[in-house]
Amino acid sequence: MRKADEDRFREFARSHAMAMRRSAFLLCGDWYLAEDLVQTTLIKLHRAWPRVVGTDRPVQYARRTLLRCWLDEQRRPWRRAERRDGLVPDGADAVADPALAQQRQDLRGQLFEALSAIPPRQRAVIVLRYFESLTVGEAAEALGCSEGTVKSQTARGLAAMKAVWNEVAETASRSGFS
C-alpha cells in the first residue's frame, strides 16, 4: 500500500473506531467482543483500502463490513451455547441526581435486555435505523437487502422488543424494583 493510502487509512481508523465500537456493542452486547469485531473489521478494511478509498463511501463500507463480521460471529457454533446476562457498563454521571441516574440505568438495562432478546437480523436493523440514524434505503444498502425487508424486520423487531420490554417491566413491578 502506498504511504498516502496508509496515512488515510490510519486517520480513518482513528476517527471512526469509537463509533464502530459503540455500534458493535449495540449489536453484540459485549465490549470485548465489540472490540474484536472492530479489529476484524479494520483488518478487512485495510486489505481492501485501495479499492475503498477510491469510492466516496468508506464509512458505509466499514459499517457493512462490521455488520457482516457480527453476523458471521453469530453463525459460529460455539456462540450459540454461550449466554450473556451481564450488566450494561455505563460511566458515572456525577452531576445527576442519584435517583434519576439509577432510573435511567434501569431503563437502559431494560432497553438493552429487550434489544438483546431479538434475532440478530432484526437487531441489526434496529441498531442501524434508530441508533445509527440511517434511512430505510441506507440500512437496506448496509445489510444488502431490499427496503421492504428493512421495513418488515424493523416492525417485527420493534414488536419483539415491546413484548420483551413488557415482560421485563412486569417482572420488575412484581418484585418491587420499579
The per-residue pLDDT for range 84-118, each reduced to its tens digit, is 556 655 555 555 566 666 667 777 777 888 888 89
Model confidence at 35, pLDDT cuts 50, 70, 90, reads very high
State the pLDDT at residue 79: 57
The pLDDT of residue 76 is 74
* Secondary structure of the chain as H, E, C letters: CCHHHHHHHHHHHHHHHHHHHHHHHHHHCCHHHHHHHHHHHHHHHHHHHHHHCCCCCHHHHHHHHHHHHHHHHHHCHHHHHCCCCCCCCCCCCCCCCHHHHHHHHHHHHHHHHHHHHCCHHHHHHHHHHHHCCCCHHHHHHHHCCCHHHHHHHHHHHHHHHHHHHHHHHHHHHHHCCC
Check residue 67 and give its pLDDT. Answer: 92
Report pLDDT for 109. Answer: 76
pLDDT recorded at residue 157: 93
pLDDT greater than 60 at residue 57: yes
Tell me what pLDDT residue 77 has.
67
Domains and CATH numbers, the chain: 1-84 (no CATH), 97-178 (1.10.10.10)
Provide the pLDDT for residue 96. 56
The CA distance from 63 to 10, in Å, is 17
Instruction: Name the grid cell of 49.
Output: 483500502
CA distance linking residue 13 with residue 45, whole number of Å = 9
Where does the pLDDT of residue 137 fall: very low under 50, low under 70, confident under 90, or very high at 90 and above?
very high
Give the predicted TM-score (pTM) of the model: 0.60
Report in angstroms the alpha-carbon separations of 22 from 29, 119, 178: 10, 19, 28
pLDDT computed for residue 52 by the predictor: 86
Cα–Cα distance for residue pair 104/86, rounded to 1 Å? 17
Report the alpha-carbon distance of residue 133 to residue 117 in Å, rounded. Answer: 21
Q: How far is CA 128 from CA 27, 32, 46, 75, 138, in A?
A: 10, 21, 23, 20, 9
